[in-house]
Structure 1
Amino acid sequence: MTNPETIRLQKIIAESGLASRREAEEWIKEGYVTVNGHTATLGQKADPLHDSIKVHGKLLPKKNFKKIALIMNKPRGVLCSHSDPYHDKTIFNYLPKNYQKLKLSYAGRLDKNSEGMLILTNDGQLAQNITHPKNKITKRYQVTLSKPFELKLIPKLLKGINLEGEHLYFTKIIPATIGDKKEYNVEVHLEQGRKREIRRLFEAFGYFVDRLKRFQIGNLTMKGLRVGETKELSPQELDLIFKK
């Protein structure tokens, strides 16, 4: 008979804020998680209040975590990482001091040369909910291309291509209608988060991305947030991410 108080390990780790559920699963598979001194296996359950759970040799605290989520307007040229051996600053250096000691992870990475909206949280389950393709959370991006965009490519980009074992595609494409060099600018929407997906997809059709900015996740925007600034999200603002 299953103990009703036991929970899958990856969920316990995710809810502690230490990692996303997917990251926790990888740690379990790689042998970095123990329960009461024994190496854990994927799918194993544990009692978070009474079992001794260690991750990378460190005991998982049994206290309740205050779950928070931040929104950052990420500057261009800054790495999404806790450390960068080649540069002085990462996104975590831009956090206000009262957040810098928290174990935060990002829900949807932006590469170094991309900018804009980034969600940081110590709630692994929230990060999973935002990034998992099954939840179909739309992420919107402003893209500046190396040459004028050809409208005839829209059906091909919506259909997508198979590249390196992954199916890459946009769910929506909106060419710019105003502004300088409007023919170089396009808005694209994604519901999944493959590595460098936007850049790889455009490159497959002969375009290079000169500038890439994420400006909306779900119905949440960065309105009023300056480059490099961070603010804590309210429950109502978080709800906007998932509101259809």
Structure 2
Amino acid sequence: MIRLQAFLARAGVGSRRKAEGLILEGRVRVNGALARLGQKVGPGDLVEVDGKRVEPPKERVVLALHKPKGYTTTRHDPYAQKTVFDLLPPIPGLHPIGRLDRDSEGLLLFTNDGALTFRLTHPRHGVKKVYRVWTEGGSLPEAVCRKLVQGVELEDGPARALFCRPAPGGAFLALAEGRKREVRRMLRAVGYPVRRLLRVRVGPIRLGDLPPGRWRRLSEEEVAALLRESGLE
């Protein structure tokens, strides 16, 4: 027996927080009865969300995509000409682990395991994401890198890099959280607006030589490393 919100997360409905919201909104039923937050379910129980049966995925799937510029990280968006799901196989429950904005490129992970998504995206778990940036000001001076590590003030609160290293035309830097357009806003705050942003690593998973627009399935060893990183091992 497991808690209902954990069941829903593992089924790919969304994070545990989203699952809790669905339960509180009265959109979840167990064996025909309105579900309660904290309720436990087992193999014989019928779980429904908005009248549709929900079952845990038979197999955990984790994919890596090299997201090209111009694609939106969403499944359905009437204003988006291209979405990342145009590039992926039709796997039930597949959803992105975090996001990259339309103008950004690089490594984007997908899974059908909501619990894994929650662990890898929640700030308290501090999963490191590494970016290669090119800026309008060229290579970042050491002093600017130190300022980014010390922290800068944004409109939604302070933000800091885990590390920053100058590189030709810009820098490499790492963050432990993923607020909306956070890297771009941080660099603009220090006077170095981003021209190009490429995410090269999420936790132990590297972009490597995966071509833009292509995806691959993570190996068992890579999935195990992600589970260790998320504390789900």
Q: Per the shorter chain, which TM-score range?
A: 0.7 to 0.9
216, 225, 233: which is aligned to 1:231?
A: 216
What is the TM-score with the length of structure 1 in the denominator?
0.84
Query: Is 1:152 paired with 2:143?
Result: yes
Query: What whole-Å deviation, never above 9, does each CA across 1:165-219 have from its counterpart, x for those lacking one?
Result: 433111100101xxxxx2x310010111112111121222233211111011122
25, 34, 47: which is aligned to 2:29?
A: 34
Distance 2:228 2:52 in 1: 37
* Secondary structure class of the residue paired with 1:89: coil
50, 57, 62: which is aligned to 1:56?
A: 50
185, 190, 204: which is aligned to 2:170?
A: 185
* Secondary structure class of the residue paired with 2:132: strand
Distance 1:143 1:195 in 2: 16
Distance 1:226 1:64 in 2: 29
The residue aligned with 1:219 is 204
Alpha-carbon contact 2:11-2:93 (below 8 Å) kept: no
* Secondary structure class of the residue paired with 2:65: strand
Q: What is the Cα deviation at residue 64 of structure 1?
A: 5.1
178, 182, 204: which is aligned to 2:189?
A: 204
Q: Percent identity?
A: 36
Query: What whole-Å deviation, never above 9, does each CA across 1:100-124 have from its counterpart, x for those lacking one?
Result: 1422111121111111001111011
Query: What whole-Å deviation, never above 9, does each CA across 1:3-22 have from its counterpart, x for those lacking one?
Result: xx2x2222100111222223
Matches within 5 A, 1:128-167: 128-148=118-138, 149-167=140-158
Distance 1:57 1:237 in 2: 36
Query: Is 1:21 paired with 2:12?
Result: no
Q: Which runs of 5+ in 1 are unaligned?
A: 177-181
Distance 2:42 2:190 in 1: 50
Letter of the structure 1 residue corresponding to residue 51 of structure 2? G
The residue aligned with 1:12 is 7
Query: Is 1:107 paired with 2:97?
Result: yes
- CA, structure 1 residues 229+105, in 2 after alignment: closer, same or farther (shift >3 Å)? same
Alpha-carbon contact 1:219-1:242 (below 8 Å) kept: no
- CA, structure 1 residues 242+124, in 2 after alignment: closer, same or farther (shift >3 Å)? closer
Considering only aligned residues, what root-mean-square deviation do their CA atoms show, in Å? Answer: 2.1
Instruction: Show structure 1 runs of 4+ deviating over 4 A.
Output: none
Q: What is the Cα deviation at residue 51 of structure 1?
A: 3.1
81, 93, 98: which is aligned to 2:86?
A: 93
Q: What is the Cα deviation at residue 243 of structure 1?
A: 6.1
* Secondary structure class of the residue paired with 1:67: coil
- CA, structure 1 residues 92+241, in 2 after alignment: closer, same or farther (shift >3 Å)? same
The residue aligned with 1:45 is 39
Alpha-carbon contact 1:72-1:228 (below 8 Å) kept: yes
Distance 2:28 2:104 in 1: 34
What is the TM-score with the length of structure 2 in the denominator?
0.87
Alpha-carbon contact 1:158-1:171 (below 8 Å) kept: yes
Distance 2:227 2:121 in 1: 11
Q: What is the Cα deviation at residue 129 of structure 1?
A: 2.3
The residue aligned with 1:179 is none
Distance 2:33 2:153 in 1: 41
